[in-house]
Structure formats: structure tokens, C-alpha cells
Structure 1
Amino acid sequence: MADRSPSTSDDDASDIRIDGSGGRPLGVHIATRLFGLGIVVFIGYLTRPLWHGFVYGTLYSPGLLVFGGGTALAAVALWLAPPFDSETTSEYSVGRVLREAENPVDVLLGLQGSPGRKIRLLVTAVVVLGAVSVLVSVPAGMFEQRTLAQQTMADATEVDEFPQANPDNPRVVPRQVADITTRGSVSYRQHRLGTSDIARTEEGSLAWSYAIQPDGFRNTLIEHQRGVLVTDMTRMDDRQIAVYEEDFVYGEGMLLHRSADWNLKKTDYFAKYDDDAVEFSHDGRPYMYYPKTGHEWHLTPFPHTTPTWDGGALVHPDGTIEHLSPEEARSNAILDGQRLYPLTITRDEMGSLGYRNGIINQLPVVGAHEGEIEIARLPSGADNAQPFVIDLEGQQMSYVTAMEPYGEDTRGLDEVWFADADTGEYRYFGTGDETLTGPERAMGIARSADSRTNWGENFVVTEPVPVTIDGDLWWHIKVTPIDFTDVTRNVFVNADTGRTIEIRDDDAVRSFIRGAVTEDDLDPVDGDDGDRDIVYYVLITDGDGNVIERIPVERGQDATIVGPSDERARDNATATTIGSRPS
């Protein structure tokens, strides 16, 4: 019997080439691979909003440029490269290769021969590029913070006194109270209220605004955003809720190509949309505005980028998206009075100020930390985040950031920064040798001013917001029940003296911020004084601000404050008053 040749073996039925070349000319191989790459690029282009974060990061992040860009180039180069060892593998059938291979699993996974070598090379490239990207990211991040701090300080103006707050637009209603009470006042079966944000109403007051967006998977695929809802944040009594219903072609809570996010990235790919939408109304129609962030490269002394304001996108209900430059956004009649500058850039700029005296100055071990500041920390339960959004005189929205000296145990304020929400221009007030009370201590003072309230179980203090009154900084804190269904009173703590004022009436809050508060403008402080005609309370506090004694003073009664006999107690005790009006 004649010997059977390899070409007539039992393996003929599985005679499938392992390597993809098959002896094709190099030109045909590259043309085929380019066609496959073109298909991938075409699909990627159609779905480009899905890859926006990676592509944008690769273009404007030094670390990701090394890793992502290098990986993409390596993958394309290996894909287009001809097979490394096609002559040794193309003559074998699958059955024979599986028998002779040291690791048959590698054959089935394509890790043997030319494909296997290419995959191993790609994995090696990814590991090396990952390590290099980390080495690049560390200095690039430091130089980014340094450059951003220098730019912020160069464009900022130091002021001698705090700008006056707008007394007509105090932040009386905290976010959680607004969310709970507003959702309890509306009824939608296929929609829900989205994340709350701050906008200006057509009447000029500040409000919490919401997108009325589809709820449930089926509805996110089919239904449209129904419009926007705004609820006044400047008063608790007779609070107005306005609904502007009109279906958005592209909106919030709508999936994929129907969403506003998808179409923003589709129409302006080289911008970031890190801020939440500002939902508002103009002439009775709902709109949404998305601040846009860009980046610019700095090649010296080490390649890095810094964020810049690239304007914003105005989304109309009919699907029109206007991409506006900063100048166009400020001059747009529909956006008049709304906040335009990105909060995320403000947060980045404020966070970079720790580097304003150099990179070495802020390093953990060798740094002197001279003049170093950081964003003041808020205690748990504050239900707030910096920068704070407040309204200044002339209906000028501003982002306020309280800065404290560097250090684990420092909580007093060192500087207070104000960013114009229209332009991003900065003003800041430096305390010099005097340190002001920070938000954490202010919340403690607000609790200690009323030791009779069952804090934590029935009531909480929440959402400290800085308010400037007659050149002084006050912390405006709200007292709410633990279910956040109401605001029982407003507490103002003077950041300089620690003086505490408690007010229940919306109009009295406005009078106090206006600087025209009198005894009759103030509500009574909680206590067990019955029907006594209490005008004000004298609070005796120690050096830490803890209330030692609470003395009620009736109408017509004179109060003389006599210092304690003990010299040390005299140095540490402070007398303050809390205004009151009889019930």
C-alpha cells in the first residue's frame, strides 16, 4: 500500500489556513486591511458621541495622549503590517497544527503564529505606554495646576470689602427641601423630575429648575422631555412652582441619538459638557443651556493643558442647538440673567490656588506651604458644595468659594473668592491677619445658639451659604426637620464676630440682608419663655463659640453686661445678642 502524502491525510476535511495571508501580494494585504480599518472608522464616526470622552482626553490630556494615542497607533500599525511567519503556518491544516502545538488553546484563540505575535506585541506596547503615561501625567498635572493658578491670580482683583448680596434673592429653600416638596406637588406617570439646578426665573428671582424627563426604560426610548419646571428658592411661604411644558426633540433622560448630550457632542465634538444643564424659561418657552469647556496646550516648561471657557450650547425645544461663543452667549437675549460660566472650571481654578506660590511650596515633605490655601471643607450634612451660587446686587449671579489656610486642623477662612457667572472674572477678599469663621464652625455655632432643639433627631442645620451684608460676611444656614419637608427658620452667623441671628419670616430675611432689620423684623428664638415680651437674647459664649448662658431681655428692660470676675473667663467669654419679636 502506497504511503499517504500530507495532502491526502485525514486532516484534509479541516484544511483551513491558520494565517490570513495565504501568500497574497503585499499590496492586496494592505488594501484588504485598509478596507477593514475604514469600516471600523466609519462605525466609530457614526457612534462618535460614545467615544467622546476617550477621544477628547487623548487630544487634550498628556497622559492619555501617550497611552491612548500610542495604543491606537500601535494597533493600526500591527493591523496593517504583513504576517510575520506566514510561510511556516500557511501550509498546515488546523488538525495538524493542533496536534503539534505546545499549547492548542493558544491556537484556537489565535495566539499562535503571526496573529499571536502581533497580539503579544500589542500587549507589551500597552504595558509600556501605560507606565510612560503615568510618568508623564504626574508632572503634567502639577504644571497644569501651577499654570491655572497663575492665570487665575493674574486676572483676579483684590477688594477691600465684600460685594453686597441681592436682598431680593436670598437662598431660603435648600436643595433637598426643594426636591422633596416639589416632587410631592407634581404628578407624572411617564415622566419624572431630573437633577435640580439653579436658574433665574423670568421675574428675576433665583429658582431650582428641573427637566421633566421620561421615566422608565421604555419611555426613555420613545417619550420626549416634556419641558422644564422651576420653583422659587427665595421664599418658603407662598412658594411658586411654574411648569413650562413643551416636548423637546433632544432632551434629558432620552437615550442615545434622541438625547441632548448625544447631539451636543455630535454637533461640537471638540468641547466638553461637564456642567449640568441650566433649565429655564424665556417668554413662556422652556430652554436648556450647557456651558462648554475647552482646553489649550502649553508646551513649556513641560507639556500640559489648562481648561478654558468655550461658550455654551443653547438647546431649543424644536431641536435647534445654538453653539455660542462666550461673547455670543452674553449678548443672547434668551440667556439674559442666566449663569453662563462653567461651575466645573471655577472649581478647578479655585482648587489650583494651592499652587500659586509654586509647585515645591505645596509638596508634602519639602514644601514650606507659605501662603497656601485650599477650598474650605464642608461638614457632613451640609448638603451643599462649593462654589456656592448666590445673587449679588443688580441681579448679578456669582460663584462664591470660601478658602481656608492649608492644614488639617485649620477651619477658619483666609480668603473669599467671587466669580462673575457671566464672564468668569474674579474678585477676592483677603482677611489678612484676621481669620473669619468657616462654614463648619458656623454650623456648630448655629446649633449651640439653641441648645433646646433636639438636633439630629428632629431637626438639622443644613446648606450654609455665604451672604454679604453691609461689608460683612455672614453664613446663611437653614434649620429643617430631618425629613426636609420645610424650613423652620433661617440662622445667620457673622463670620467675623460669631453673632447669631435667627429669623423665621421671609420678608424679615430680606430686610436683614438689606441691612434695614429692626427689632420688629425679627422672629422669636426658640425657647421656653412662654408669653414674655422678649425683645432679644444675650448669649454668653466661650472662646470656642459654645453658649455658656442664654439671657432673655424683655421689652423696656435694660441689660447691663458685667464681665466675669475671673480674669481668664473674662478673656474667653463673649456676649452677643439675638433679636426677637413676640409671637
Structure 2
Amino acid sequence: MPSVDELLLLIRDRLTDLHARHPQAVRSAAVLLGLVAFGLVWFFRPWFHTVVYGVYTTPVLPIAAALGLGVAVLLRRRLGTVADGQVGFAVFVVVLLVGSSVGGLLTGAQLGQDTMARADTADSLSETDPARPRVVTKSVAERYASNTLNFPQYRIDGGDITVRNGTPYWSYALAPDGTFNHYTKRQHGTVLVDMSQQNAEVDTVVGDVERGVGPAFYNNYRFATLKRANYLVEYEDPFMVVDEGEQYIAVPYTKPEFHWLPLPHTTPEWGGVVLIHGDGRVQDLSPSAARDHPALREQKLYPFDLARESVAATKYRNGIVNTFTSHEDEIEVAPVPGEDNDQPFLVFTESGPEYVVAVEPYGQAQGLKEVWTIDARTGEYETYSPDSSLFGARKATDYVRQAARTTDWNRFIPSEPIPVVVDGQLYWEVRVVPEDSSGIAYIAFVNAQSSDVNEVDTTPEVTAFLNGERVADQPESTDDDTERSPRIVVERVAPNGTVVETMKVYDNETVRVVPGSAQANDTATSD
């Protein structure tokens, strides 16, 4: 049996002989094969997007390639060694790695300076809209959506905020579940979880989407987007939009801005929004066109990741060297407990939807240094620096733990501290959820200045607090305060395990269980 080398030599000889006898046929076959290969690569170009975009946004790459090739050619001419190619490749790798690292620092510094320059200074923060409170956390919404799902061939996918008829929802795609369904089915609809209601308010809009979230590439929104819209951009996570009974998928994206000095690098900027219709049509909308589109008139449009990245980059406000040495006036985006959901948080204010990012001083300090707000529809930045000393989001969760002495913190988690403003005063709205995210136990509003904790149990109480009706109603807790310490907590649980409603029973109270068909004289009382 011939070896591999012998087979290669045999194939080469046959091809050489074939080319000598039929040169025109060989050239035609080579051209045809090249065209077929180019056609396949062009058709499946979405699969290569990550690599192509990475090369496109690394302008130091051609410099590294030129230097590596130049060194290889120079060594070959002067020394004629066989190692010239290896040395040239080593030069290429070293220049690329060093240039990319320096370029990354330049990108951060440039983005931070641009963000500082474009941001306006705000004297106060916008008042939170009481009609659109943010109550349900992302993890709880996902549990609500999963528990109410009754489509055996589908699962929920995604998880982002959308607005429908003025009400904010957590939105999920009904994606095919399992390998067979992945290749044979399309997205089957949209699941909406009302984020302004503490209980499980879930609405499912059923209808196949031609190019959706979850199915194989020939039915997938991303494959269609990269083929029919802008290719050399960075697409963010999609979110579902339901408008007048029609389903859409909206995908904000960023595009690179090139800077050539002192070393070539790029910074991201908002490019627009791609809107995929239910019938598969793809619209590439500029930021202004997206704001004017009827289906997007209520939606957030500015890219989430760009908002966070831009604010985080302001740590370079005093230069790159400062971030490695004295850290003067350096900031960091405050890490918060969010169960896979982090800043910025989308908050609905009386001025419209805004991303809010709370930043702390660099290091161990947990005070509130600045609050950045980004208009979620226009991308306009504002920064608010408090006049007085305020504590940040992380410390707010500590105050919630201290105030709720009867809560078993081995079973419950303070989650997603959202900044809200009531009558000009900043509060941290902390949702306390069970470890399994089966519901919302209660909500605590922590005064960012006095550290007073106001606990509320129901959605109407949340609305009342945001309206300013309960800002000063609750006294501070003390060690002898037993008014807020219930003897037992009764949970009403749905068949799927979701906690629908909770009720606290105190020392001077009892629980009465009344059958639905019983009369008043047939009631039973239980302790």
C-alpha cells in the first residue's frame, strides 16, 4: 500500500500530465472551482463575520503584516537563510500583540474623552414615572415565562425590555426546543412578562416569525441580518417588539470610527437599528429613522453595551498613565447583585426611558460619585454629581439586609438595586427575591442620603411610594420594633410553583381559610 507521500507525488504527476495534455480544460476547471468556492463563502459570509469584523476593526494588523514581510525580505536578501520566514512571522506576531494592547488602551482613552466631551452636566435627576415602575427582576421574569409556557416544542430565548401600549415588559422569543425542532421549525411567537406588576402577568403572542430567534441559520434573524443589512458592524442582542398585533425583532448596532494617530485604533459609535419584520423583511434604519418608525415609537434604541462601555471608559479622564499609578479621580461602574443582569438599568422617567449607570470611586470606596443617564432613544449623555455624600448601590443592599432582621438571607437575595427619584430625592429600589427566583418577596426603597429603608409588599404600594405618598410614612426600625416582624408568612402558590401572592401575619392576627362555596358560618380559623 503506497504511503501518503507517494500518493501526493502520484496526484501531482497526474495533474501535471493532465495540464500538459489539456491546459485549457484544467484552467477552466480551476476557474469554475474558484467561482464555486467564492460563491459558497459569499453565501455563508455571516458565519465568518466575527473574524472579518475583528480584522476590519484592528487597523494595526496591516502594519504588523508589512513589518513582518519587510523583515523576512530583508533577511532573505542579505543572509539568504531559510529562517527568514520564521523571523518575519515572529515580528508580525509581536507587533500585532503589542500594537493591539496599546490600541486597546488608546480606544478606551479616546472613547472616555469623547464621552466626557459630549455629556451635559445635570443639576438633578429626572423623576421616576410612577405609572411605569420597574418591579419584576430579570431572573423572576424568566421564571414566570418558563412556568407559564405550554408549548412542548418550544422554549423561551433572550430576555430584554420592550414596551407595548405604554407598559414595559420583559420579552422573550418562543424558540424551537431540541435538535429536530431547531432545524425544522421557526420562532413561534413572543412571550411578554409585565415588569410593572409584582404577580405573574404573562401574555403570549403566537405566530411563526419568518426569520426569528433560535432556529437554524436559514430561518434565523442573525443570518438574514448579516446578509441583507450592514455587514461591517457589531450587532447587539435582539429584543422583541409587538405593535398592533405584528411581531418584530429589533437589533441595535454599533459601527467603528477609525483613528490613525498616535497608533491606528477604532472606537465604537451608534450606527442604527435593524428591524426584522414578521414576514422576514429586513430594514436597516439610521438612529433618526428608527425614532420615526411607528413600530419603534416607544422602544429603547441606543445600544446597551455601548452605554456601559462609554461610561466605564471615563476612568481614563485623567489619562492612561493615571489608571496605572495614582488613580486620581478615577471611577468604576458599580458592581451590583443582579442575577445575570447588570448596569446600566433601563428606568422609565417622566422625561422618557433612560439608561442609568451609577459609578463609584476606584477601589474599595462604595460611595456614589456620579450618576450617568443616557437617553435610550437619542443617546444623549448627562452626568449628575451629588452635592452631598450619598452611598452607592452595593451599600444599599447592605442596609436592606440590616433592616430586615426576620428575613432568612440564606433563602433570599437582594437583587437589581435600581436608582429611582421621588420628589428630588434619590432612592435605591431593591427587590428581594427567593434564591429560586419564584417571585418577589418584597421591595425596599433605601434613601441614598439617610439610609432609611421603606419596605413595600404590593404593586399599589410601589406606585404610591413613587408618587411620594409614603416617603416619610414609615418610622425607622429599631431593635425593639416588632411591628415589621411577622409571625408567619402565607404564600399563595400557582400549580406551576410560582408564588402569586404573599401575606404577612403578625402576633395579634390569625388566618381565616374560607372555602369558595362556603357561607360565612362555615368558615374555619387557623393559627
The TM-score normalised by the length of structure 1 is: 0.74
Q: Quote the RMSD (CA, aligned, Å).
A: 3.3
Moved more, 489-498 or 262-271: 262-271
- What residue is the counterpart of 2:494 in the other structure? none
* Alpha-carbon distance change, 271 to 421 in structure 1, aligned in 2, over 3 angstroms: farther
Alignment of 1:452 onto 2:406: yes
2:341 corresponds to = 384
**Once the 2 structures are TM-superposed, how far is the Cα of residue 183 of structure 1 from its aligned partner?**
1.2
Where 1:398 maps in the other structure, the secondary structure is: strand
In 2, are the aligned partners of 1:170 and 1:234 still within 8 Å (CA)? Answer: yes
1:196 aligned counterpart, secondary structure? strand
Task: Output one character per residue of 1:104-139: Cα deviation in whole Å (capped at 9) or x when no partner.
Answer: xxxxxxxxxxxxx9xx98776554422221111122
2:168 matched to which residue of 1? 206
2:43 pairs with 1:46: yes
State the AA in 2 paired with 1:142. L
Which amino acid in 2 is paired with 1:473? L
Aligned residue pairs: how many?
Answer: 469
How far 1:20 sits from its partner (Å)?
Answer: 7.3
Matched, 1:215 2:174: no
* 1:185–1:16 CA distance, 2 compared to 1 (3 A): closer
Q: 5 Å matches for 1:79-98?
A: none
Aligned 1:104-119 pairs, distance under 5 A: none
Q: CA deviation at 1:497?
A: 1.4
Aligned residues with identical type, % of pairs: 31
Question: What is the aligned partner in structure 2 of residue 179 from structure 1?
Answer: 142
C-alpha contact 2:353 2:375 (8 A) present in aligned 1: yes
Instruction: Give the CA deviation at 1:551.
Output: 3.5
Check if 1:397 corresponds to 2:347. no
The match for 1:418 is: 373
Matched, 1:443 2:397: yes
Cα pair distance change 1:452/1:52, threshold 3 Å: same
The AA in structure 2 aligned to 1:430 is S
Which residue does 2:292 correspond to in 1?
Answer: 331
Alpha carbons 2:145, 2:191 under 8 Å: kept: no
Cα distance in 2 for partners of 1:431, 1:58 equals 43
The answer for the alignment partner of 1:251 in structure 2 is: 212
2:425 to 466, 472, 481: 472
Question: What CA distance in whole angstroms lies between the structure 2 residues aligned with 1:121 and 1:263?
Answer: 45
| CA distance in 1 between partners of 2:195 and 2:326 (Å) | 44
Given the superposition, is the C-alpha separation of residues 15 and 193 from structure 1 closer, same or farther in structure 2, using an over 3 Å criterion?
closer
What amino acid is aligned across from residue 428 of structure 2 in structure 1? W
CA shift, 1:429, in A, is 0.6
The alpha-carbon deviation at position 315 of structure 1 amounts to 0.7
Q: Which residue of 1 is the match for residue 518 of structure 2?
A: none
Letter in 2 for 1:211: A
Matches of 2:62 and 2:38 in 1, distance apart?
19
Q: Deviations over 1:404-446 (max 9, x none)?
A: 1112x112110010001001101111135x4421221111110
AA at the equivalent of 2:101? V
1:167/1:125 CA distance change after superposition, 3 Å: farther
Matches within 5 A, 1:205-354: 205-237=167-199, 239-354=200-315
After superposition, the Cα gap between the structure-2 partners of 1:312 and 1:66, relative to the gap in structure 1 and judged at 3 Å, is farther
Distance 1:221 1:183 in 2: 22
The 1:40–1:501 alpha-carbon spacing in structure 2 relative to 1, beyond 3 Å, is same
Partners of 1:518 and 1:357 in 2: how far apart?
39
User: Could you tell me how far apart the structure 1 residues matched to 2:62 and 2:187 are?
Assistant: 37
Provide the rounded CA distance (Å) in 2 between the counterparts of 1:66 and 1:219. 47
Tell me: CA distance 1:455–1:127, structure 2 relative to 1, closer, same or farther (3 Å).
Answer: same
2:413 maps to a residue whose letter is V
When Rg is computed on C-alpha atoms for both structures, the one with the higher figure is 1
Distance 1:454 1:553 in 2: 18
Change (3 A) 1:509 1:48: same
Alpha-carbon distance change, 334 to 123 in structure 1, aligned in 2, over 3 angstroms:
farther
Residue 92 of structure 2 aligns with which residue? 129
Q: Distance in 1 between matches of 2:52 and 2:371?
A: 37
Structure in which a larger fraction of residues adopt strand: 2
Deviation at 1:181, TM superposition (A): 1.9
> Where do 5+ consecutive residues of structure 1 fail to align?
1-10, 75-116, 523-535, 541-548, 555-579
CA deviations 1:491-534 (Å, max 9, x no partner) are 01111211110001211111111212278xx7xxxxxxxxxxxx
Q: CA deviation at 1:464?
A: 1.4
How far 1:252 sits from its partner (Å)? 0.6
Q: Which amino acid aligns with 2:409?
A: W
* C-alpha distance in structure 1 between counterparts of 2:415 and 2:10, whole Å: 74
Relative to structure 1, the CA distance from residue 341 to residue 122 in structure 2 (aligned partners, 3 Å threshold; closer, same or farther) is farther
Contact 2:371–2:385, Cα closer than 8 Å, also in 1: yes
Asked if structure 2 preserves the Cα contact closer than 8 Å seen for 1:141 and 1:304, the reply is yes
Residue range with higher mean Cα deviation, 29-38 or 122-131: 29-38
1:445-479 Cα deviation digits (max 9, x unpaired): 101101122111x3222221111222222111112
Q: Unpaired runs of 5+ in structure 2?
A: 1-5, 70-81, 485-505, 510-527
Deviation of 1:388 (Å): 0.8
How far is 1:397 from its partner? 1.1
Which residue type is aligned with residue 452 of structure 1?
T
Partner of 1:516: 469
Task: Give the letter for the 1:539 counterpart.
Answer: S
1:485 aligns with 2:438: yes
- Secondary structure of the residue aligned to 2:417 is strand
Q: For the structure 1 residues 518 and 355, does the alpha-carbon distance in structure 2 shift closer, same or farther, using more than 3 Å as the test?
A: closer
SS in 2 for 1:209: strand
SS of the equivalent of 2:451 reads coil
Aligned-partner Cα distance in 2 for 1:15–1:382: 62
2:316 alignment counterpart: 355
Q: Which amino acid aligns with 1:229?
A: V
Instruction: Tell me by how many angstroms 1:361 deviates.
Output: 1.6
Counterparts in 2 of 1:187 and 1:471: CA distance versus 1, 3 Å: same
Q: Give 3-state SS (helix, strand or coil) of 1:165's partner.
A: coil
Residues 1:60 and 2:57 aligned together: yes
Shift of 1:273: 4.4
Letter matched to residue 377 of structure 1: P
SS at match of 1:385: coil
| Cα distance between partner residues in 2 of 1:44 and 1:15 | 30
* Aligned residue identity for 1:504: D
CA contact (8 A) 2:335 2:342 kept: no
User: Match of 1:103?
Assistant: none
Alpha-carbon distance in structure 2 between the residues aligned to 1:21 and 1:64: 37
* Cα distance in 2 between the residues matched to 1:50 and 1:252: 16
Higher relative contact order (CA 8 A, sep 6+): 2
Contact 1:59 1:65 in 2 (8 A): no
